[in-house]
């Protein structure tokens, strides 16, 4: 898989431009408050950089990178409700790559997650997808495991309607507000949401609330330990406020899920794009690797890069992180 297949340069560039404009429009005058580490709760922090008016710090306890001082939760809610970049992602960006992502991301995702569940002796009879979007994951899950009872939780009016059109039961709301489904599901999944969350631990707790005692919570998100983020750092397009504000480390994920009351936390990094992302950034601007002879050595040879990507994925060093944890009981 190549970055260009799921994130074409022209429309992704436009998305980043709109995000930068939204950062100015929605947060210019909002009051900000310093917060402790969003993963482990430590107040021992080191400032790192400022990007689009948003400051990021590293936790000296667990190495998590996160945005602080943080604007109010009301400001973020208004941003996601009214921002041009969010609308562009939902109405232009994602539809343009939906089928490519189905083949490259969603089908392999379903197969891998089903295999992970099987390794733990879990055959989900019920599954909740939080932030279901266009419902592609649920479609692909239904294709291989048609007996599973499926529920979509999706706050967007248009996306919720799309999921209903595919025949899924839908709760149109943010997961924190959802009631009536407590302790109801064998498996609760949430893809690419944690990096956006105002309070990641609170989000994980909300996911866990929906799981049955003994059931599982699954999250995929971005992690700071990945090769592309560690190499590009503040020049990484993945660090894109106001959308992406949390980049937990491997110890940070362990701490956050433990604080949310979950156990048997398993963390993998099955990413495929770290090397390609760094290679593409280098091709656009050679200066991004001016102090990294090793990174240039890796990205300048395709075979070497492919082997290194395999190494990253198998050693918890990709920025694409999967976490599967169990709710006690």
124-150 pLDDT tens trace: 999 999 999 999 999 999 999 999 999
Whether 308 maps to a domain, the answer reads no
Whether 291 maps to a domain, the answer reads no
Taking the C-alpha atoms of residue 246 and residue 7, their distance in angstroms, rounded to an integer, is: 21
Task: Give the closest residue to 137 by CA, choosing from 169, 113, 156, 161.
Answer: 113
- Report the CATH number that the domain containing residue 23 is assigned in CATH: 3.40.50.150
- DSSP 8-state symbol, 225: T
Provide the residue range defining the domain that includes 119: 8-268
Taking the C-alpha atoms of residue 48 and residue 231, their distance in angstroms, rounded to an integer, is: 14
52-107 pLDDT tens trace: 999 999 999 999 999 999 999 999 989 988 899 999 998 999 999 999 999 999 99
Whether 120 maps to a domain, the answer reads yes
Whether 299 maps to a domain, the answer reads no
284-316 pLDDT tens trace: 999 999 989 999 999 999 999 999 999 999 999
What is the SS3 assignment for 17?
helix
Residue 36 CB-density burial (10 A; 0-12 exposed, 13-18 middle, 19+ buried): middle
Domain count, the chain: 1
Task: Give the closest residue to 68 by CA, choosing from 90, 42, 88.
Answer: 42
| Burial per residue of 118-148, b for 16 or more beta-carbon CB atoms within 10 angstroms, e otherwise | eeeebebebbbbbbbbbbbbbbbbbeebeeb
Whether 280 maps to a domain, the answer reads no
Contact 307, 192 (CB under 8 A): no
């Amino acid at each position: 898989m190549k970055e260009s297949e799921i994130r074409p340069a022209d429309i992704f560039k436009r998305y980043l431009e709109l995000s930068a404009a939204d950062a100015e429009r929605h947060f210019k005058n909002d009051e900000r408050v310093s917060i402790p580490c969003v993963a482990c709760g430590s107040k021992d922090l080191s400032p790192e950089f400022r990007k689009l008016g948003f400051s990021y710090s590293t936790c000296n306890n667990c190495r998590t990178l996160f945005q602080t001082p943080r604007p109010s939760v009301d400001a973020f809610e208004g941003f996601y409700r009214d921002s041009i970049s969010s609308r562009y992602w939902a109405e232009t960006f994602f539809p343009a790559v939906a089928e490519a992502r189905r083949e490259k991301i969603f089908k392999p995702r379903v197969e891998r997650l089903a295999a992970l569940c099987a390794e733990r002796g879990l055959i989900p009879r019920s599954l909740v997808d939080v932030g279901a979007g266009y419902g592609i994951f649920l479609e692909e899950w239904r294709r291989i495991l048609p007996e599973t009872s499926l529920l979509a939780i999706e706050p967007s009016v248009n996306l919720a309607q799309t999921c209903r059109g595919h025949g899924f039961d839908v709760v149109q709301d943010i997961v924190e507000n959802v009631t009536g489904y407590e302790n109801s599901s064998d498996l609760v999944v949430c893809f690419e949401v944690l990096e956006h969350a105002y309070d990641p631990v609170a989000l994980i707790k909300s996911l866990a609330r929906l799981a049955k005692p003994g059931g599982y919570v699954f999250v995929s998100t971005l992690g700071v330990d990945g090769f592309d983020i560690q190499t590009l750092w503040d020049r990484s397009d993945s660090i894109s406020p106001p959308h992406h504000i949390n980049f937990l480390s491997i110890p940070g994920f362990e701490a956050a899920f433990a604080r949310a009351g979950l156990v048997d936390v398993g963390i993998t990094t099955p990413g495929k794009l770290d090397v390609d992302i760094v290679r593409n950034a280098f091709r656009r601007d050679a200066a991004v690797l001016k102090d990294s002879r090793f990174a240039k050595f890796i990205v300048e040879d395709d075979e070497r890069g492919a082997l290194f990507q395999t190494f990253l994925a198998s050693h918890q060093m990709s920025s694409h992180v999967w976490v599967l944890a169990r709710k006690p009981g």
